[in-house]
Structure 1
Amino acid sequence: MAGLRPVQIWVPDTRRPDFAEECRRQSRLAAETDKADADLQHFMDEALADVDGWTE
């Protein structure tokens, strides 16, 4: 009635025995990929330098 509708979201089951190991595997993969991408690192460094003066 308020113009809203229900939404269903599927998320990983954190109770699975292999959940933590899968998180570690994906984190390692993402970190290795990021290290190999010099352009991404340069972009991130520039973005970090551009936050001076931001407030919370």
Structure 2
Amino acid sequence: MKVKHRVSEYRRRMRARGLRPVQIWVPDVRSERFAREAHRQAGIVAGSDELADDQPFVEAITASWDEE
């Protein structure tokens, strides 16, 4: 059985079960660009103690789970 036929049969069976294919694109965590950006963002998070006034603001505008 050829790969193309196996794939189409698999997809047919999955659709018969009420499922549908979904394709998503995610960052390539192996790339140098990703590593640089992750390092940059980690530095921002590490320095977040300097931005301590943000958290009270976030809490002030956030609804409690119990209120919904």
Higher radius of gyration, 1 or 2: 2
